[in-house]
Structure 1
Amino acid sequence: MGAQSNWLLMSERSVFARRVGIACALAVLAVGAGAGVVAASNVAAGLGGSRGDTSVPTWLYLATGGGVIGASAVLTMLVTDRRTIGRYHDDTLSLPLERLRTAGSLLLGTIGVGALAFVIVVGLFGPPNGSFSAAVLVTFVGGRALLTLFTYAVGNPWPVLNPWRRIATVLPNGYATYPDRLGSWPAVGALLALVWVELVAPLSSSPRALVAVVVAYSTFTIGGAVAFTPEIWFRKGDPLSVWFRLYGAVAPIQRTDDGLELRYPGSRLGEDDVVTDVSLVAFVLALVWELTYSGFVVTAPGARTVEALVGLGFPPRLVYLVLLLAGFGVFWAVYWFAAERTRERAETYLSRRYLGLRFAAPLLAIAAGYHFAHYAGFSISLWPSLIDTVAAPLNPPENPTEYALTSWFGYVEIAGILIGHILAVWLSHTVSFDLFPGKLQAIRSQYPFIVVMVFFTMISLYLVSVPGAEAVYVPS
């Protein structure tokens, strides 16, 4: 019996080693296939960046990327020890920095209000060209790119940085009761509206247009906070606050009542208080879709699609809006179909709604990977321009410094996408073992969401592999 047990153990280890080897080989091939893929698209662009084509056939490139996610799913399913899975979520290191957090809150709050005033003043009185405007660069490079990247890579500073919350807290508020049925739907609608405006309005080229949108947004969100109290509004209704809170759930540093807490990256996403209602599922899907959409419209297939629809007589702005909403609708339908299939495969009495809530949070790891692929190179390229223009906002240099990315940076972007998806697969695995008592039941429940993640992977890899193009019918 002892010899047989040893043989079985060695056999299992051999199979495991072979699977690890296959997964590693697929990962290397997928990253290698991305050679020459540089600077994934971003709509805020018009500010800089470059792209390239893959050096292998697209079908092989996409199949390999999907294979990496499938292989990672197979490997995670080998981990069935609940204590090992639980440690990933439970192992934490407390950082009792309450005094430091209080001092940092005052400092960051001042910086946030100052940055808002800076954007408005420089946008109105600074240079009219967006490439030389500190207002444009602070908004897109500083906020859209770097602050978001810091939020999911380190921790979320937005609650203390948020200038609109600082302003709203000193104003009379609480004139109305926030309807519970609204959930975070106002934030979902506002996020989609901002994505559309970012594309169809010349925000990156006209500082004056950017200021108009900033003032309109300020009126909207301060008005909401005054009507419903800052606590409720910035928890549910403000799109930027929900944006940073959800991205911040991916980060290794989390805020607690006693200070800060150091955790494994993404471990917070396995808890049931990250996504608490259907509207937050919609917001998570919007985060994934808005980056996919931003990538699609600045590729050659995206430009041809828009041109074809405009050729039929539809207004360009309406075309971009319909594509935005239609794509979001597809993501919504695919996700809830996967939730229903999960319920059937697991043979559980848990509702489709509850399963949808629990499996939505891991998708934030995918959103973080997408964001990194879209904006890491963009940030590195335009970081010197941001410094140059902030140093002299009203009289910037005629040629702000801009870095050119090396050809191998495309590997980093592809790796960001794959790591985000692999982390999402692992987190879905941990959620399934938290939901279902049986090991086989937990494993079966993951299949539909693994298929969805492979689908998302291949779409995102396709978008960074095809030749880039200017977004057509968009003011520059």
Structure 2
Amino acid sequence: MRPVLAHGFGQGYDLPLPLWLYLYGAAAAVLLSFLPLALLSGKRGRPAGEYPRLDLLRVPVLRGLLGSRLVVRALRLTSVAVFGLVVAAGLFGVQGGENVAPVFVWAVWWVGFSLFVAFVGNLWPVVNPWKILFGWVDGKARRLGRGDGLWLGWVYPESLGVWPAVAFYLAFIWFENVFADPGLPRNVALAALLYSLVTFYGMASFGGETWLRRGEAFSVFFGLLGGFAPMEARVKNGRGRTGGAFGCAGSCPCFARAAMGDRELNLRPFGVGLGLAERAPPGGVPFVVLVLAGVTYDGLLETPIWVEVVRTTPLTQTTGLLLTWAAFLGVYLGCVWLCRVFGGERGCFRGAAAGYVLSVVPIAVAYQVAHYGTFLLVGAQKTVAGVSDPFGWGWDLLGTAALRPGYGLIGAGAVWYAQAGLIVAGHVVAVWLAHRVTTRLAPRHSVVGQLPMLSLMVLYTVFGLWILAQPIVE
């Protein structure tokens, strides 16, 4: 029996069964999840825009809390204050592990907030510090007589889609995985400031809401995760919904401008927002595939075979990142082409690729939890200690500076089984979403037409579990 490590964890763990049995079992679970869908494929289901939902704003207590301007203002002020603290700590604090900036950015914000968005709802449009700061200055300019505020009058080309967000998200993944020291506080602060300048320039050039929907990488990213989430914000007339993956998910101007009586804040089944019949903008397919490839690459580069074959130099790591993305994109597009052939669908290939791509988002969510979950547990504990001494200067403002993280809170065996379960669950949801897309694109051949995408889901399942089972090599 070969010793393995639960990926992202520091304890050794001997699998009680050979790894290949887990891989076969997970693949079989994904395949079996397709059987009920195949048996019911001839029956008409709900249209994509109709699904069970419960409006939380109908409850008076929740309406008073969730609709409170005071709560929104408090969240915005807190977001800007935290952003300022992270930058200040990174620039002026101790350049070591005592500084709160790196652990907050990488553990609490990047991992923790991502999981909050995916499993609760997309709060990013409310707490986005770049949107808040730009809005304050833009509003001031309008009150001083500048009718267009900070807008420079440029019109965003629709053909550009979300390609700027693709480029910035790729740069972020490169900074996380390839850059020499992404955990150095000063590097974190400088990267945040550089991205702030680019974001403010984009918002001023094309308008704040337009740039948030198309150019701001994290608004697009959190919008995707929000499509998976069980909470959505929408306007009762149906013209505004922030629970989808694209659309106004990044900025929600429709919801913000609607009267309180016209707003809905709904609970819905997980993944429903990804099954809505919405058109992905240009660059949407590469962006979604990059999200999945990025988290997979983060795990892959720490495996022994990657270190032995590729080596760890900036050039090879950059090349590896690009090739991983290209490979994922090529395999995905090949499966879409086969789906069209098997399903007898004669429509636009680009439309089919855009239709299927959101079905892989649950896989990315599952990998995000499985790969980073233990990192979040440790990072959250470090953040509790760090807020007492954010600059690493020996303070103890809240009395928690002496807190040391407990690395053995969860056994490696429990971590492995949780990871395996998450991977399988994410792929099962992906199979269901792919089935919904197939029945929409090729209703007469939905079962046969989904077989290539089902094969892709099984391949992703096996590959993801294999990565998680490898020892970590730093």
Query: What interval of TM-score do these two structures reach, taking the shorter chain for normalisation?
Result: 0.7 to 0.9
> How far, CA to CA, are the matches of 1:85 and 1:72 in structure 2?
19
How far has the Cα of 1:326 moved from its partner?
A: 0.9
After superposition, the C-alpha distances for 1:276-322 in whole angstroms (9 at most, x for unaligned) are 23411111101100011000001111111222xx7xxxxx2111111
| 1:289 to 1:57, Cα distance in 2 relative to 1, 3 A | same
> How far, CA to CA, are the matches of 2:220 and 2:458 in structure 1?
26
Instruction: Answer yes or no: is 1:267 the counterpart of 2:272.
Output: yes
Provide structure 2 residue ranges, at least 5 long, that are not aligned to the other structure.
Answer: 139-149, 236-262, 396-400
Written as runs of structure 1 = structure 2, the 5 A alignment for 1:48-197 is 49-50=10-11, 52=13, 54-80=15-41, 82-84=43-45, 86=47, 90-96=51-57, 100-103=66-69, 104-129=71-96, 131-169=97-135, 170-171=137-138, 172-197=150-175
> How far, CA to CA, are the matches of 2:171 and 2:106 in structure 1?
17
- Paired AA for residue 383 in structure 2: L
Instruction: Answer yes or no: is 1:229 the counterpart of 2:207.
Output: yes
* Counterpart secondary structure, 1:249: helix
TM-score (norm. length: structure 1): 0.83
Written as runs of structure 1 = structure 2, the 5 A alignment for 1:315-326 is 316-326=313-323
> How far, CA to CA, are the matches of 1:253 and 1:166 in structure 2?
22
> How far, CA to CA, are the matches of 2:207 and 2:15 in structure 1?
51
| 1:137 to 1:456, Cα distance in 2 relative to 1, 3 A | same
> Does structure 2 retain, via aligned residues, the 8 Å contact 1:342–1:448?
yes
Alignment length (residue pairs): 420
- Identify which of structures 1 and 2 has the higher relative contact order when contacts are C-alpha pairs closer than 8 Å and 6+ apart: 1
Map of 1:420 onto structure 2: 426
| 1:213 to 1:74, Cα distance in 2 relative to 1, 3 A | same
- Paired AA for residue 319 in structure 2: V
Instruction: Answer yes or no: is 1:456 the counterpart of 2:460.
Output: yes
* Counterpart secondary structure, 1:256: strand
Map of 1:401 onto structure 2: 405
> How far, CA to CA, are the matches of 2:44 and 2:378 in structure 1?
44
Instruction: Answer yes or no: is 1:213 the counterpart of 2:191.
Output: yes
* Counterpart secondary structure, 2:233: strand
Instruction: Answer yes or no: is 1:296 the counterpart of 2:313.
Output: no
Map of 1:442 onto structure 2: 446
| 1:87 to 1:200, Cα distance in 2 relative to 1, 3 A | closer
> How far, CA to CA, are the matches of 1:378 and 1:53 in structure 2?
21
> How far, CA to CA, are the matches of 2:94 and 2:403 in structure 1?
13
* Counterpart secondary structure, 1:329: helix
Instruction: Answer yes or no: is 1:387 the counterpart of 2:384.
Output: yes
> How far, CA to CA, are the matches of 2:266 and 2:327 in structure 1?
37
| 1:400 to 1:205, Cα distance in 2 relative to 1, 3 A | farther
Higher helix content, 1 or 2? 1
> Does structure 2 retain, via aligned residues, the 8 Å contact 1:36–1:55?
no
> Does structure 1 retain, via aligned residues, the 8 Å contact 2:179–2:314?
no
Map of 1:284 onto structure 2: 288
How far has the Cα of 1:158 moved from its partner?
A: 0.2
> How far, CA to CA, are the matches of 1:456 and 1:160 in structure 2?
34
- Paired AA for residue 393 in structure 1: P
> How far, CA to CA, are the matches of 2:161 and 2:353 in structure 1?
16
Map of 1:27 onto structure 2: none
- Paired AA for residue 420 in structure 2: I
> How far, CA to CA, are the matches of 1:34 and 1:461 in structure 2?
15
How far has the Cα of 1:214 moved from its partner?
A: 1.1
> How far, CA to CA, are the matches of 2:158 and 2:173 in structure 1?
26
Counting aligned pairs with the same residue, the percent is: 28
Provide structure 1 residue ranges, at least 5 long, that are not aligned to the other structure.
Answer: 1-32, 42-47, 311-315, 471-476
| 1:98 to 1:221, Cα distance in 2 relative to 1, 3 A | farther
> Does structure 2 retain, via aligned residues, the 8 Å contact 1:128–1:207?
yes
Between 199-208 and 421-430, the greater mean CA deviation after superposition: 199-208
Selected match of 2:310 from 302, 306, 310: 306
- Paired AA for residue 241 in structure 1: S
Between 223-232 and 53-62, the greater mean CA deviation after superposition: 53-62
How far has the Cα of 1:332 moved from its partner?
A: 1.0
> How far, CA to CA, are the matches of 1:184 and 1:98 in structure 2?
34
| 1:256 to 1:203, Cα distance in 2 relative to 1, 3 A | farther
Written as runs of structure 1 = structure 2, the 5 A alignment for 1:372-383 is 372-383=369-380
How far has the Cα of 1:86 moved from its partner?
A: 4.9
